Amino acid sequence: MTTTVYLDYNATAPLRPQARAAVEAALELTGNPSSVHRYGRAARKIVEDAREAVAALARAKPAEVVFTSGASEANAQALTACGRSRVLVSAVEHASVLDAAPEATRIPVDREGIVDLDALDAMLAIDRRPAVVALMLANNETGVVQPVAKAAAIARRHGALLLCDAVQGAGKLEIDFASLGADMMSFSAHKLAGPQGTGALIVSEQVEIGALIRGGGQERGRRGGTENLPGIAGFGAAAEIAAGMRDRVRIRALRDRLEREARARVPEARIFGAGAPRIGNTSSIALPGRPAATQVMALDLAGIAVSAGAACSSGKVKASHVLEAMGVGPDLADHAIRVSLGWATGEAEIDRFLEAWSAMARQPVAA
């Protein structure tokens, strides 16, 4: 059956028409943004207009925006090219952060998934080596929002830098790069309903950072290689829409309705992070006795796309390190799915999910 209900926006959002149009227009151009002739200048204008749009999304300065191939590259550059010998990351960070610094010290979180600020303070105090701290703005599995500004203040007191992975928060939360106190911030275009393969790292003017990819001197020497003009154009269009957060209230109401009716229909269901501040589009729901992989497959057969709490690059379901860090046992963690809504989600999609999910919950559990 062809998927007719898409509820996996945190994995990738359907491309907005405005972003598609921007990509198509850029594909019609021939120039290299580094060339000085009229073709090059036309291409450069697209890049710089997009840079301004991405900067506006974070209330940052255009000069602070470095275009990358995505947030994974941005996070890797931030953690490995910032000149800091010690790395601390929250235990619930995205794999692109955890895998970029496998030896990093893990900062614990509480049962709602919120970072332990006292633990961060103590960890930084016992080791005076120059450090960088990674703390996401909003979690990709649970939607839990982190106290980034408070963590940044602690980091600054100890002379540490702070990277904020803002991928899931962009377009769902008000973001002010300077007010948050972050030194670096990462974004991904396809989470904003832009094209895949494009992202950005915002770097404070006070921070020196090296290039992860060298050659050509693009992005003011911070990222070599000819710019991905169509991707950047689409990113800019998507960022401009996301900055307005047009759908935030409507989507939160849909998510809240989904959770409310899911609990009413299946009282044993458990929603993770519900006691903490969350972005309004994400729900992590566990159904005891139903493995996540089984739920995802059953819903897919019903024409509904969701994801398990965590999936590796091969598409296989694996245990969620986020729920594990929150103290959730495998009897629930292995039975959690993530439902994430977005700009094209409506009441009909919520109806379809609730009908299929509750019908699956009523089926006898295989012995």
Q: Which residues are catalytic?
A: 312
At 40, list the tokens: 């090059």
- Measured over the CA atoms of residue 155, residue 161, residue 165 and residue 171, the dihedral's sign is positive
Q: Which residue has the tokens 């057969």?
A: 301
Residue 203: which of 162, 175, 243 has the closest Cα?
Answer: 162
Render the burial of 38-62: b for 16+ CB within 10 Å, e for the rest. eebebbbebbebbbebbbbbbebee
DSSP labels for 66-127? EEES-HHHHHHHHHHSS--SEEEEETT--HHHHTTSTTPEEEPB-TTS-B-HHHHHHHHHH-
At 269, list the tokens: 């269901």
Q: Are 194 and 15 in contact (CB under 8 A)?
A: yes
Counting beta carbons within 10 angstroms of the beta carbon of residue 37, is it exposed (0 to 12), middle (13 to 18) or buried (19 or more)?
exposed
Q: What is the DSSP letter of 208?
A: -
Using DSSP's 3-state secondary structure scheme, residue 211 falls into coil
Alpha carbons 180 and 200: distance in angstroms, whole number: 18
How many helices and strands in the chain, by DSSP H and E? 13, 13
